[in-house]
Structure 1
Amino acid sequence: MSSPYFTLKVVEVTHETSDAVTLHFEHPEKQAVSFKPGQFLTLILNLEGKEVRRSYSLSSTPHEAPRLAVTVKRVSGGLVSNYLLDNVKVGDEIKVMEPIGNFCLTCAPDNQRHILLFGAGSGITPLMSILKAVLKEEPNSQVSLLYGNSDEDSVIFKEQLEQLQQENAERFHIEYIYSQPKQACDHRGRMNQSMIIKILERLKLAKIDNALYYMCGPEGMMDEVRHALDVLHVPAERIFRESFVSNKLIEQQQQGQHGDVLSSDDDGEIVTQTVTIIYEGAEYHVEVEPDQTILEAALDQDVDLPYSCQAGLCTACRGKCLSGKVHLDEREGLSDAELEEGYVLNCVGHPLTSDVIIEIG
């Protein structure tokens, strides 16, 4: 099994807005990096004497190989985003983990469908990858984007979006929504249920059978989108959402401060248990204390397992539980089908029995 880690070189830096940049990478040997539109890349950096990892959605598409790109928006007080915006330059090399993620789309030239995208702020990044891929690879498909920002100057990819709209006038439509516009605009305020329904009805997109719906942005915005789609009776299997993890949550995870345990059917008390982990052909026996996750215990014992968000959302640390029982603090990253198959997330997992065996990869 090949290692999930490799190094990429920065070949271009594009300033999208005053607080967002796109980092364009290439493999040093010009190799194409395999990924699906909508997936993310994990950057691994050594900052202030510690290794830190952050996941950023790829804003490029596979047909742009050998280049691939992530777009980073500055977060107030954010260790990694501030470092990337202020320090990274062309020629730098950054260690990464191979692209992963379930928020993705597979294109086929024979598809004839409508892709509806709902984004706000930096939530546009995976949607940008998806929309470019559909426009390039599915000539009979259409794309509509509802994109919320504070004002006109904060729109990431503004020039690219306008160019794509001009080049695909019959297939690509954008509705901009501004909460604090600097000039007159069609939609003022935050994206909400009522606004979404009105826009879709005006565009005659409220009831279409061949549509898929992708949303990414703040949780409140995505809740509004979901409420609107529920009112329009959109089947749940046609709706996909991507949650970005806040810096606060990451810091809580790193400090061992976990949120409320989700209600579950798990029985048993969390006590010290030894977990067997099978990874890259080797077998590890990891002792997990009650206040540790399986991932934290493994890393403490120098078992270099794959991981990224440490919050149960990205699935980088996913493994299959072959025996025993594991409690998960957070389940959003796994589908019902994956849970039924026995998959667990080591970054939010705690062994409940003494016979837990987890296979990764």
Structure 2
Amino acid sequence: MSLDKTKVCHELKVIDRIQETEDTISLVLEIPRTTGGKFMYKAGQFVTVFLDIQGEEVRRSYSLASSPEFETDFKITIKLVPGGKGSTYLINNVKVGDKLWVTPPAGHFCLPQTIHNQTLAFFAGGSGITPIISLIKSALKLHPNTRCVLLYQNRSEANIIFKKELTDLATKYASRLNIEFIFSKPSPSWTGLSGRIDQDKILGFFERQKLNQEALQFICGPEGFMNAVVSSLISKQVDKSRIFKESFTVAASPASPATPASLSEDNDLTLDSEAIVIGDKSKLSAPETIEASIEGQLHTVAYKKDKTILECLLDAELNPPYSCLDGACMACIAKVQDGVVYQNDMGILTDDNIEAGECLTCQARPASKNVKVTYEIF
């Protein structure tokens, strides 16, 4: 999807650069008053940075490591991805005083609106600590009766991102925050947990921290790490509704071209067998209109051939939530209330999302005469 970055982004100045580890930096960005509150955010959210790298537009999403309740900084953290265009460019080229094109914050990996003196358990792998530390800081500040525990997996002690900040938090909130580290390749002097994360280590943490099925669980890290944590929690009868997760990896493809579809004389639509179909399949037909509930307001727009739902809404000058535009985040997720849509692939969606009738509107295209989607209000 090609968009004019001047319409979806604001130019933000880098006012500080922090070397977190050998391959990870944080950038503190200045938010101009002219943004009109668009960069107000919740802990756990992310932004998308638009980069011009040798004439190619590259978009990358980065979580906020700062907390709106805890500090005034607006800070994103970037870990070098081997061969990654975005992270390599930012780490090697961006300095204090430079300006970046950045979208307003988005994302649903946030604290629930209501927390009843519950224990909050956090599991982070590598750079997955970025939204996790944001959530921890807000939880400690907003909910004085909650207890937070963190299990943080890294390669070694040298790879701990936010090491000093985590240590300071654990000291300041000694009675409410407990942190355990686990290293896959620790130094000889390390006496704590070591090796790859597995069910035994996760359940051991569960027992040591006296967690129960009522605790809220927050997980962010590589896919294998997250799968191990989720399966371990489910084995302890933790309900899925208490498990919140954010993935940094996705096998998404760009929104175009569209999945091949054929239209019969009586307007019945047939989709490719590999398409991800969401909604009432009995309604497959040539699309005409899209209804979208955005912030409680219902809008109706005409469908445009080969356009995604998000593209149609943006072309109509509406303001649906979105960020990465590539199916690599869940900022544009919406529930299909009526009709049917399809995607080339699942992107970052899970089987649970598909079962719940949810789609990524930057990837999804209508596949029925009328489609109605609802963007949840978070």
User: Above 0.5 in TM-score?
Assistant: yes
The 3-state SS of whatever aligns with 2:237 is coil
8 Å CA contact 2:338–2:371 kept in 1: the answer is yes
Query: Percent identity among equivalent residues?
Result: 36
2:342 is matched with which residue: 327, 331, 353? 327
Number of residue-to-residue matches in the alignment:
350
**CA positional deviation for 1:339:** 7.9
Q: How far apart, in 2, do the equivalents of 1:106 and 1:269 lie?
A: 35
Per-residue Cα deviation, 1:37-60 (whole angstroms, up to 9, x for no partner): 111112122223233322111110
Q: How far apart, in 2, do the equivalents of 1:101 and 1:95 lie?
A: 18
Q: TM-score, normalised by structure 2?
A: 0.78
Partner of 1:351: 366
Partner of 1:156: 161
**CA positional deviation for 1:100:** 1.4
Query: How is 1:214-293 mapped onto 2 (pairs within 5 angstroms)?
Result: 214-246=218-250, 249-250=251-252, 252-253=253-254, 261-262=275-276, 267=281, 276=290, 285-289=302-306, 293=308
**CA positional deviation for 1:227:** 1.4
Q: How far apart, in 1, do the equivalents of 2:352 and 2:105 lie?
A: 22
Q: How far apart, in 2, do the equivalents of 1:92 and 1:270 lie?
A: 50
1:86–1:320 CA distance, 2 compared to 1 (3 A): same
Whether 1:63 aligns to 2:77 is no
Unaligned stretches of 5+ residues in structure 1: none
Partner of 1:46: 52
8 Å CA contact 2:45–2:105 kept in 1: the answer is yes
**CA positional deviation for 1:168:** 1.4
Q: How far apart, in 2, do the equivalents of 1:245 and 1:132 lie?
A: 24
8 Å CA contact 2:277–2:342 kept in 1: the answer is no
1:193–1:347 CA distance, 2 compared to 1 (3 A): same
Partner of 1:117: 122
Unaligned stretches of 5+ residues in structure 2: 1-6, 260-272
Per-residue Cα deviation, 1:217-242 (whole angstroms, up to 9, x for no partner): 01111111111111211121111111
8 Å CA contact 1:274–1:288 kept in 2: the answer is no
1:277–1:42 CA distance, 2 compared to 1 (3 A): farther
Q: How far apart, in 2, do the equivalents of 1:65 and 1:4 lie?
A: 26
Per-residue Cα deviation, 1:169-220 (whole angstroms, up to 9, x for no partner): 1111111011111232321111111111012212322x253x2100000111
**CA positional deviation for 1:136:** 2.0
Per-residue Cα deviation, 1:303-344 (whole angstroms, up to 9, x for no partner): 99864334545233345767642124428658979986x764
1:143–1:44 CA distance, 2 compared to 1 (3 A): same
Partner of 1:129: 134
8 Å CA contact 2:278–2:340 kept in 1: the answer is no
Tell me which moved more, 323-332 or 228-237: 323-332
**CA positional deviation for 1:283:** 7.4
The 3-state SS of whatever aligns with 1:143 is strand
Q: How far apart, in 2, do the equivalents of 1:212 and 1:322 lie?
A: 29
Q: TM-score, normalised by structure 1?
A: 0.81
Per-residue Cα deviation, 1:50-77 (whole angstroms, up to 9, x for no partner): 3332211111001255421111101011
Whether 1:204 aligns to 2:231 is no
Which amino acid is the alignment partner of residue 99 of structure 1? P
Partner of 1:191: 197
